[in-house]
Chain A
Amino acid sequence: MKGNVIKYDRDNIDTDVIIPGQYLKVHDYAELATHAMEGLDPDFHSKVKEGDFILSGKNFGCGSSREHAPIALSHSGIKAVLALSFARIFYRNAVDGAFLLPIEIEQDAYDGISEGDEISIDVSTNEIKNITKNQTYKMKPFSEIIGKIIAAGGLFKYKPDQD
């Protein structure tokens, strides 16, 4: 997986800014995408490209359980969010609904990767390569259950009985 990074250099990006509450009544995924990140970055929709990644700090996706948040990002073209840590409901919504990959990173990747850098992510080796800067970082591996749900393509395709 390869793409460019949109970096939000802050902690606690909450679901109220990822997709403001007034759009909770909207269930059209394409329309939700047009309002992604509106509470923080009104230019997001015009700058985001298919295959981009978001990079941010601690506790990404805190706040409400709205699945609109990973949906709006995923339908904007975001394939993965890299963050120092994630809030729990955003994390499991992203995985169980197979919307995007939540990648937990360490401080070196957070400091090393800048806005616009091209990076590649290999979840089989837990490696993130910064192609622009020729650096390599480790991502935190997925837990066993998360790895299996991601490999299956979401919770509905995962068969716990076959473990």
Chain B
Amino acid sequence: MNIVEKILARGAGKSSVSPDDVVFAKVDKVMMHDVSGPGVIKVFDKLKKQGISVDKLWDPTKVWVAEDHFVPSAEKVSAENIVKLSNFTKNYGIEKHFKYGMGQYGICHTISHEEAMVMPGDVYVGGDSHTNTTGALGAFACGLGHTDIAYVLLNGQIWFKVPETFYFKLNGKLPDHVMAKDLILKIIGEIGTDGGAYQTMQFGGTGIDEMSVESRLTLCNMTTEAGAKNGIVEPDQKVVDYLTQRGATNINLIKGDADAEYSKVFEFEGSEMEPTVAKPFSPENTCVVREAPSVELDKSYIGSCTGAKYEDLEAAAKILKGRKVKIRTEVLPAAISIYQRAMENGLLKIFLDAGVTVGPPTCGACCGAHMGVLAKDEICISTTNRNFPGRMGHVESQTYLASPLVAAASAVTGKITDPRDLQ
């Protein structure tokens, strides 16, 4: 069995599973946030009316809650959602609720790794499509809707069709100035936004072994944009070290068998990878940066679970150090712990000196919610994950998806710029 089959077999209490088997798997961790949480509360209200008991959760210690989409509260509806969510976690005894304005908080997927909420081998589900991110720690991490999350909260298990696994092998390190974001955009450009539909996308090879945990998180994050059920990397010593630094103990290094089966294998040579962007209006609409259209940008956005981890901010700061931005530029660290490290290590000063606005952790404009959304005809280069029409604001705005290095270099020139070409 491969790693995903092993995790799902354990969750289902079976000695083995194969692709297309339908299993009810026990869940180890479940997450919801200020959008899916109120959605789940609404499902609970419906169930009560149908006479289904919602008095007790299956295990409140396995549930954690983030505030990220509309925080700090964008207006009164989102403020009320935050109150609803707080009442829910209090009433049901959920202690792991990361509240803004009370120390550590941030984008749910960032909290999942910054706070070591998920362990290798876990069956982890979240009420958000980018739950796939956390597969980089070696978990089966999968996004679900409100009804399914409500079902998990009450029953501790959920059905899955065991996916087939596509294996993406990276031979050799990525060159300087090329980031994991460039690789995942390249992959989505090749296989399309439904190229991984219903499947697992697993990453391996010497290039992945060399890669930091944070870069692997970027890869798994955007498996969602290829339609995948989950993304995963087999955990190694880097994952152990990463989680241990964040307080985890008893880490189980689960791996696939030597004779594990994959339904397709794709190979990429690290040395051939180049800075890449996805043009409007789809993550599959990719080209290398040096062939990108010469458009006048209005804005550069460095934020989100995809592109505002510490490593992402460090990359942007490397470019922005001693330079000035030519267009509106926002940096929103994805969690308070990252914000704090960025402060301690001088990154915030580099950003402010360059003219950047530094904002609080929030999903914010990535999903067109608030805090920097785009006007009609505005063109943005962004470290986020989607660029469908209206994703970041007005339906006639445009978003180019890029790595933090490309977004920072473009902020300096006002045009889509390969960091290798920056004067």
Q: Report if A22-B369 is in contact (Cβ < 8 Å); known contacts: A88-B229, A155-B151.
A: yes
Contacts of A62 in B (CB 8 A): 193-194, 227
A-B contact pairs, 19 of them (CB 8 A): A12-B193, A12-B194, A16-B386, A16-B391, A20-B395, A24-B35, A25-B78, A63-B386, A65-B143, A65-B144, A65-B145, A67-B39, A88-B197, A89-B143, A89-B145, A93-B147, A96-B151, A97-B43, A156-B147
Is B367 at the interface (CB under 8 A from chain A)?
yes
Contacts of A92 in B (CB 8 A): 144-145, 148
Distance in Å: Cβ of A29 to nearest Cβ of chain B: 8
* A25→B131 CA distance, assembly (Å): 19
* A59→B196 CA distance, assembly (Å): 11
Contacts of B343 in A (CB 8 A): none
> Is the beta-carbon distance between A65 and B128 smaller than 8 angstroms?
yes
* A66→B390 CA distance, assembly (Å): 15
Distance in Å: Cβ of B321 to nearest Cβ of chain A: 33
Q: Is the interface of A mostly helix, strand, loop or mixed?
A: loop
Among residues of A, the one whose C-beta sits closest to the C-beta of B194 is A59
Contacts of A22 in B (CB 8 A): 368-369, 373
Encode contact with B along A127-161: 1 for CB under 8 Å, 0 otherwise.
00000000000000001110000000011100010
Among residues of B, the one whose C-beta sits closest to the C-beta of A149 is B159
* A160→B24 CA distance, assembly (Å): 8
> Is the beta-carbon distance between B148 and A96 smaller than 8 angstroms?
yes
Distance in Å: Cβ of B69 to nearest Cβ of chain A: 6
Interface size on A, residues (CB 8 A): 37
Contacts of A16 in B (CB 8 A): 367-368, 386, 388-391
B residues lining the A interface (CB < 8 Å): 22, 24, 35-36, 38-39, 41-43, 47, 50, 52, 69-70, 74, 77-78, 81, 127-129, 131, 143-148, 151, 159, 161, 193-194, 197-198, 227, 229, 282, 367-369, 373, 386, 388-391, 395
Contacts of B35 in A (CB 8 A): 24-25, 66
* A160→B43 CA distance, assembly (Å): 20
> Is the beta-carbon distance between B367 and A64 smaller than 8 angstroms?
yes
> Is the beta-carbon distance between B78 and A64 smaller than 8 angstroms?
no
Q: Which of A12, A64, A143, A160 contacts B129 (CB 8 A)?
A: A64
Q: Which of A80-119 contact B (CB under 8 A)?
A: 85, 87-89, 92-93, 96-97
Is A17 at the interface (CB under 8 A from chain B)?
yes
* A156→B51 CA distance, assembly (Å): 11
> Is the beta-carbon distance between A39 and B390 smaller than 8 angstroms?
yes
> Is the beta-carbon distance between B368 and A21 smaller than 8 angstroms?
yes
Contacts of B70 in A (CB 8 A): 24-25
Q: Which of B52, B129, B390, B391 contacts A156 (CB 8 A)?
A: B52
Contacts of A96 in B (CB 8 A): 145, 147-148, 151
